[in-house]
């Protein structure tokens, strides 16, 4: 982080390391004393303070222990040896259940595109894109959210890994180019103004295209007036969106009223899901539908 033009290294408490790595604080203390794995600074009141390099090291250690390695042997490994073991285990796909999330954390913290691709590509090859998204990417995005809220990652790291995920998804969508369109209605995927969380929306596009729909992906922060122009050009369409942070709850009723004003009796329909729609009731069932989750929304179009 940068404060007053001075770079400040991220620091963590031992409890934060425990939360991010799954290694108990008591165990971390023992390893420090027995194997000299970490050498944290201490505050004037003798409280341990750990750096992002300490976090990366513990994430690696947690992975190797999950793979069956003993801490006494891990302590003797160089950083390159540790990385080689992790990559080898990933190729064999024989790690513990959270192995892939741990490796993706390390890839994010180290800005390591090759490590990211080795995890995601091997999982896609084995189980397909949809399973990879549900079983690997979504849990990882949740982990990113936790680390972001705890100030454990910087914006550049979050942007880096999010861009890689988007690139990977768009690559697989591009591979569907030329797929036959077998459904009559076109699907327009968009996010409202100031809404930027588009990764799940990109995945939905892949699912719809795979199932014979023509999709128009508009992406982030689309003004409602632009959707009016889309309707004028394309006619009756289904608009699909995921509401995560916007419109703000206080502004949501007004947003729905504007939709009703512009799209009543047009033959279009709006389909919404996301955390902001929880508990909401549609003001017009002929025009607007809310879904409890992404799976339910997809299920309305794909049997």
Tell me the CATH number at 160: 1.10.1660.10
Residue 190 is part of which domain span? 180-301
| Token output for 216 | 């128009």
Residue-wise pLDDT for 269-280, tens only, equals 999 999 899 888
pLDDT > 90: percent of the chain? 43
Assess whether 40 and 104 both reside in one domain.
yes
pLDDT of residue 164: 95
207 and 87 both lie in a single domain: no
**21 and 159, same domain (yes or no):** yes
- Tell me what pLDDT residue 150 has: 64
Give the model's pLDDT for residue 98: 66
* pLDDT over 60 (residue 252): yes
CA distance 79 to 13: 23
In the prediction, which pLDDT does 6 show? 38
Gap between the Cα atoms of 60 and 303, Å rounded: 41
Domain termination residue (choose one: 121, 144, 173): 173
Q: What is the CATH number for 197?
A: 3.40.50.280
Average pLDDT over every residue of 25-37: 89
β-sheet with 237-242: strand ranges across: 214-222, 186-192, 237-242, 269-273, 288-290
Question: Is a pLDDT exceeding 50 seen at residue 254?
Answer: yes
pLDDT band at 282 (very low <50, low <70, confident <90, very high): confident
Identify whether residues 81 and 154 lie together within a single domain.
Answer: yes
**Residues 126, 243 share a domain:** no
Residue 10 is predicted with a pLDDT of 67
> Taking 90 as the threshold, does the pLDDT of residue 288 lie above it?
yes
Chain-wide mean pLDDT for the chain? 86
Using the 3D structure, point to which of 173, 197, 223 is the last residue of a domain: 173
pLDDT tens-place string over residues 158-217: 899 999 999 999 999 999 988 899 999 999 999 999 998 899 999 999 999 999 999 999
Q: Please tell me whether residues 6 and 124 are part of one structural domain.
A: yes
- Yes or no: say if 268 and 231 are a contact pair by the CB < 8 Å rule: yes
Instruction: Say yes or no: 45 and 134 in one domain.
Output: yes
Which tokens in the block code for residue 128?
């397909």
Q: Are residue 147 and residue 203 in the same domain, yes or no?
A: no
pLDDT given for residue 63 in this prediction: 76
pLDDT of residue 8: 44
Specify the higher pLDDT residue, 158 or 150.
158
Range scoring the smallest mean pLDDT among 88-92, 245-249, 272-276, 299-303: 88-92
213 and 138 both lie in a single domain: no
Separation in Å, CA 147 to CA 64, 128, 150: 21, 27, 5
Lowest mean pLDDT among 66-80, 117-131, 224-238: 66-80
Do 95 and 145 lie in a common domain? yes
Cβ-Cβ contacts under 8 Å for 21 (sequence gap 6 or more): 55, 58, 59, 61, 62
- Residue range 220-236: mean pLDDT, rounded: 95
Domain stop point among 117, 145, 173: 173
Comparing 60-74, 111-125, 224-238, the range with the smallest average pLDDT is: 60-74
* Cβ atoms within 10 Å, residue 36: 9
Looking at residues 35-59, what average pLDDT do you find?
83
Overall average pLDDT of the 65-81 stretch? 85
Q: Give the side-chain half-sphere CA count within 13 A for 214.
A: 9
> What's the pLDDT tens digit per position in 77-119?
888 888 777 767 655 554 555 678 878 888 888 899 998 998 8
How many distinct structural domains can be found in the chain?
2
Same domain, 169 and 198: no
Strand bridging mode 48-51 / 41-42: antiparallel
Residues 163 and 235 in one domain: no
Asked whether the predicted pLDDT for residue 262 surpasses 70, the reply is yes
């Amino acid at each position: 982080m940068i404060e007053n033009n001075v770079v400040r290294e991220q620091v963590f408490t031992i409890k934060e390391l425990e939360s991010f790595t799954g290694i108990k604080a008591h165990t971390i203390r023992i390893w420090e004393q027995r194997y000299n794995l970490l050498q944290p600074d201490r505050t004037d009141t003798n409280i341990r303070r750990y750096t992002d390099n300490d976090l990366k090291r513990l994430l690696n250690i947690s992975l190797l222990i999950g793979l069956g390695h003993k801490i006494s042997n891990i302590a003797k490994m160089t950083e390159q040896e540790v990385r080689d073991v992790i990559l080898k285990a990933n190729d064999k796909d024989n790690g513990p259940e959270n192995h892939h999330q741990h490796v993706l954390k390390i890839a994010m913290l180290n800005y390591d595109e090759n490590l990211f691709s080795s995890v995601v590509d091997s999982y896609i090859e084995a189980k397909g894109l949809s399973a990879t998204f549900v079983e690997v990417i979504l849990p990882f995005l949740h982990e990113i959210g936790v680390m972001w809220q705890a100030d454990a990652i910087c914006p550049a790291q979050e942007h880096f890994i999010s861009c890689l995920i988007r690139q990977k998804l768009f690559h697989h969508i591009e591979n569907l180019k030329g797929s036959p369109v077998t459904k009559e209605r076109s699907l327009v995927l968009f996010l409202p103004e100031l809404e930027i969380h588009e990764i799940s929306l990109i995945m939905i596009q892949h699912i719809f295209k795979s199932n014979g729909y023509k999709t128009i992906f508009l992406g982030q922060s689309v003004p409602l007036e632009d959707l009016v122009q889309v309707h004028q050009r394309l006619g009756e369409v289904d608009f699909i969106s995921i509401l995560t942070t916007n419109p703000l709850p206080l502004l949501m009723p007004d947003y729905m009223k504007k939709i009703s004003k512009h799209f009543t009796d047009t033959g279009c329909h709006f389909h919404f899901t996301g955390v902001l729609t929880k508990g909401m009731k549609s003001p017009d069932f002929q025009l607007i539908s809310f879904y409890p989750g992404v799976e339910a929304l997809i299920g309305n179009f794909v049997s």
